[in-house]
Amino acid sequence: MTDQQCVEFLQWALPRLRMRWPGFRKVRRQVHKRIDRRMGELGLSEVADYRAYLESNPDEWSVLDAFCRISISRFYRDRGVFDYVGEQLLPGLAQAAIARGEPDVHAWCAGCASGEEAYTLSILWRRCVRPRYPRIDFRLVATDVDRQLLDRAHRAAYSASSLKEVPPGWLEEAFTPQGEDYVLRPEFAAGVELLQQDIRSEMPAGPFRLVLCRNLAFTYFDEELQREILGRIYRRLTADGVLVIGRKESPRASRHGCISREECRRWLNEPRPSV
């Protein structure tokens, strides 16, 4: 399958999966390789044959759906975002918890992949927030649809390339070298609950002061599905809760990717473009 054939195939198939082509434009090679491998397994030489196979074998759509999961993740990915989260957002949530007389801050990381983003939050809390607010706990639910990625998150062993963006001191304080990998120290994994969930059909109950849903629903899913997911996230946010998405995923996001619950409501109520 050529690149152009892949583009045409995805433009045909993605709407049936409630996904959108623009989100895959830059990452399509990952999907391309997976489809090529699958066609080889099925003994199919032409992309038209795979289209026909999909049409006559409905169960194959779930296989294709799995091929469209993009799992690009690193610790501290998008430095400006996590600088803000560690220096401003998390301390502010801790102060608010103290003012309300609450014992903890409850957060959710959606699409956590191998745990890099979730553990970034945990390390930020322990290094930047806990020394100032030792009586406030941080509870984090991290979800992903992919069991293999979650198994890697449970092992919490990472290559140097996954850690190339972490701030100075993190490697020494939060990780133990083990062969070619770096293993997260147990105290930094404490308080992080890993769950297998497909955000399209299942979410943790909440309520949450903080939700991270970056470079997932609002990049790859079609507009209608985005609205459905945003609505369910909105109902799980506390009145003063914050949603963090990719900085380019909505004009409503701040330069740090943050959206208040009120801005989520306004986003939900925006008129849909005519087709």
What are the Cα distances from residue 104, in Å, to 134, 138, 230?
A: 10, 6, 24
DSSP state for residue 199 in the 8-state scheme: T
Distances (CA, A) of 246 to 240, 249, 250: 20, 5, 8
Residue 137 pLDDT: 95
For residues 195 and 198, give the distance between their C-alpha atoms in angstroms, rounded to a whole number. 10
Single-letter residue type at 203: M
Task: Give DSSP secondary structure letters for 177-202.
Answer: EETTEEEEPHHHHTTEEEEE--TTT-
For residue 181, the cross-strand partners are 178
Predicted pLDDT at 273:
52
What would the mean pLDDT of 154-177 be, rounded to a whole number?
Answer: 95
Pick from 179-183, 222-226, 247-251: least confident: 247-251
Interatomic CA distance for residues 103 and 94, integer angstroms = 9
Q: What is the pLDDT of residue 251?
A: 81
Work out the number of other CB atoms within 10 angstroms of the CB of residue 193. 12
User: Is a pLDDT exceeding 50 seen at residue 274?
Assistant: no
pLDDT digits (tens, 9 = 90+) for 218-242: 999 999 999 999 999 999 999 999 9
* CATH 3.40.50.150 applies to domain 79-269: yes
- pLDDT average, residue stretch 98-107: 94
User: What pLDDT digit, counting tens, does each position of 187-222 carry?
Assistant: 999 999 999 999 999 999 989 999 999 999 999 999
Residue written as tokens 């607010």? 133
Weakest mean pLDDT among 23-37, 128-142, 252-266? 252-266
Q: Which two tokens stand for residue 93?
A: 């949530």
Q: Rounded distance, CA 88 to CA 242, Å? A: 12
Distance CA 106, CA 138 (A): 6
Q: In what order do the strands lie in the sheet with 237-244?
A: 192-196, 137-144, 104-110, 208-212, 237-244, 258-260
Does residue 176 surpass a pLDDT of 50?
yes
- Percent of the chain having pLDDT more than 70? 99
Alpha helices by DSSP H, listed for 57-89, are 60-67, 79-84
Label residue 270 by pLDDT band (50, 70, 90): confident
Cα angle: 227, vertex 260, 102; to 5 degrees: 120
pLDDT at residue number 203: 97
The residue ranges of every structural domain in the chain are 3-67, 79-269
pTM: 0.93
Given the structure tokens 């903890």, which residue do they identify?
104
Q: Quick one: what percent of the chain has pLDDT higher than 90?
A: 91
Residue 275 pLDDT exceeds 90: no
Q: 């406030």: which residue's tokens?
A: 136
* Element of type H or E holding 32: helix 28-42
Largest CA distance in the chain: 64
pLDDT in tens, 26-74: 999 999 999 999 999 999 999 999 999 999 999 999 999 999 999 888 9
